[in-house]
Amino acid sequence: MSNGVTRLASAALMPLADAVACLTSGVSPVAEDGRPIHAALGFTAARDVIAERDWPEATTALRDGWAVAADDVIGASAYAPILLTAPPVWVEAGEALPDGACTVLPPEALEGRAFVADAPPGDGARRRGEDLKAGACLLAAGTRIVPRHLLTLGAAGRDAVPVRVPRIGLVATGRASLVAALLSALIAADGAASTEVMAAGDDPDALAAAIRAVRADAVFVLGGTGPGRTDHSVAALARAGAVAAHGIALRPGETAAIGRADGCPVLLLPGRPEAALAVYLALGRPLVSALTGARPPEPATATLLRKVTATIGVSDVVFVRRAAEGIEPLGGVDLALSRLAEADGAILVEPEREGYPEGATCEVLPL
C-alpha cells in the first residue's frame, strides 16, 4: 500500500527517467532579470558576470602601520637603524599607499625617527588588481549566487547582476495545505519563486480553473492524485490542458502525474508529505533546474550506516539523516511525519537495484 491506494504493477507506471524527460521537454531557462546584488542571493546567474575594474584600484594597506619604499629600509634593525630623510607616512588598513610606497611596516618598526626593521616589497600591502583583475569572470552562467559572492561582486563595482527567477504556481486541494509551506521553502531554496498558494478545494472544475488562472512558468498541484472519491486533480488537469502520464514508477509517489496547460508544464504531487517530498526531489527539482538554467552541483556522497532495500523496476526514495559516521536511512513509503522531520537528505535507488548494503557510498539529495 502507498498513499492510501494499492500500487499498480510497475510495468504500468512510467519510468522515472522518462517522466523527467517528458516533464522538462521543451523547457528553457526563463528570461533574465537584472537585480541589485543583495536581491540576487539564491538565484541563478543568467550569464557570465565579468569584473569591470581592478581591485584594489591602487596598492592598499593590509594593516595599520608605516608606508615605506622597501628599498629605503633594507637592512634596518635595532643594531643598524635607518634614519629617513622625510617623515614616514602612517596608513590605516584599507587605505591607499602614497606614491613611491610599496610596503607597510608594523608600528613597532619605528623608534623615534629611525626604522629598526625592514620588510620585502609588498609586505603588509595588496597591489593593484591582486584581488580581482578587470575582465575576470566573477560568476559563470548557471551559478547559484550565495553570500560569499557579494564580496567579489561589490569589489568589482557591480551594483546589479542578471539572474533567472522562474515563478512556480502552487495550487492546493482541500487536504494538501500542510505540504504547501514545505514546497514553497524547497522551491525558494532551489532558486525559484513560488506564487501565493491558491486553494482550490476538491472540485474538478474549480481545480481546472485554478490551473488555468495561474500565471507562472510551471504549476504544481498538491493532492488529489489518487483514486479516492475526492481526488480530482488528474481530471482537472485533463480539462485545463493535457495529461501526459498518470502513475510514475517512484516510491513513494506512484500516483503523481505530469502534463501541460496552455504550454506550461504541470506536476501533480500526492498529498501525503513523504510522497509529495519524494516527487518534488525526483521530478520537481529537475524542472526547477531546467527553468533556472542552473549548473548541476557536484554530487555529495556519504556512507550508509544501515542497508536499504528497494523494489526492482521502481525508483525508490529513501530519506536519510546525517550522522558523524555517515547517513542513517529513515525510510520512504508511509514514513511517519515525526521521522520525516528528522530527514536532512534522501537517496534515490535506481530501478535496476534491489537496494544498497551497509557501508555503500551513496549520492545524497539535499533537503
Domain ranges of the chain: 10-30+166-292, 34-52+141-163, 60-126, 300-366
Q: Are 152 and 52 in contact (CB under 8 A)?
A: no
Q: Are 20 and 242 in contact (CB under 8 A)?
A: no
Architecture of domain 10-30+166-292: 3-Layer(aba) Sandwich (3.40)
Angle between helices 204-213 and 233-240 (to 10 degrees): 50
pLDDT in tens, 304-352: 999 999 999 999 999 999 999 999 999 999 899 999 999 999 999 999 9
The yes-or-no verdict on residue 199 having pLDDT over 90 is no
pLDDT in tens, 125-180: 999 999 999 999 999 999 999 999 999 998 888 889 999 999 999 998 876 667 88
> In this predicted structure, what is the pLDDT of residue 174?
72
> In this predicted structure, what is the pLDDT of residue 267?
98
Q: What angle do CA 168, 173, 177 make, to 5 degrees?
A: 75
The yes-or-no verdict on residue 183 having pLDDT over 80 is yes
Worst-scoring range by mean pLDDT, 17-21, 69-73, 154-158? 154-158
> In this predicted structure, what is the pLDDT of residue 224?
87
CA-CA distance, 136 to 156, in Å (whole number)? 10
The string of DSSP codes covering 13-48 is SBPHHHHHHHHHTT--PPPEEEEEGGG-TTSEESS-
Output the pTM of the full model: 0.86
> In this predicted structure, what is the pLDDT of residue 4?
34
127 is written with which cell numbers? Answer: 597591489
pLDDT in tens, 252-303: 999 999 999 999 999 999 999 999 999 999 999 999 999 999 998 888 999 9
CB atoms within 10 A of CB 165: 21
Domain 300-366: CATH class, spelled out: mainly beta
